[in-house]
Amino acid sequence: MSALAYEQLLREAFRTEEDAARYLKEPDTSAYAAFEHASQTDLAFRFERVRLGVAMSLMKLLAELGDHDESRRVLDVLHRALRARTVADIDNTITRDAKAFERLYTNLYVNEEGGLLLQLFEMTLDADSKQRMDEVIAEALALLPELDFSHHNEDEDEE
């Protein structure tokens, strides 16, 4: 996989200029390229930034798919973690807001598409190599055309 696939996933998840401006800055959009060129000492941190970008994308898609507040809360935690400067800071941010992740699965009803996004999210959190993260990105990109966001259009038509 490549930085292009990572960037495509970000663009698909954060479609509007408003979303992109809110959640993504230049270091975020180029996190995969930075990971590919990272020194051995910086590799773990760069990998975590890629993981956060993929996880944020999946939560954004889940939030839009089902208008799901808990996934928005997790997205916000991941976004705060993306601002961290070290792996330890990322871990501290995630740990501090661990309840958001617990609530994500409480009383959660999702359709099949939402279930697939949650599986990909879990795979993202479990990924421990570039190859595994590339597989998650590829699966997410393959799933995108199958996602049905038509409820947004129906809501807009009713207004």
The two three-digit tokens of residue 38, written as one number = 């990272």
Q: How far apart are CA 56 and CA 73, in angstroms?
A: 11
Contact indicator for 58, 140 with CB cutoff of 8 Å: yes
Over residues 82-99, the pLDDT tens digits come to 999 999 999 999 999 999
**In the chain, domain spans:** 3-148
- Residue type for 96, please? R
pTM above 0.75, yes or no: yes
Residues 6+ apart with CB under 8 A from 63: 69, 71, 72, 75
15: confidence class by pLDDT, cuts 50, 70, 90: very high
pLDDT value for 150: 74
User: Residue 53 burial (CB < 10 Å; 0-12/13-18/19+)?
Assistant: buried
Over residues 111-157, the pLDDT tens digits come to 788 888 989 999 999 999 999 999 999 999 999 998 877 765 444 44
Chain centre distance of CA 44? 18
Contact indicator for 121, 59 with CB cutoff of 8 Å: yes
pLDDT value for 107: 59
Contact indicator for 57, 98 with CB cutoff of 8 Å: no
Query: Hey, is 130 helix, strand or coil?
Result: helix
DSSP-assigned letter for residue 16 = S
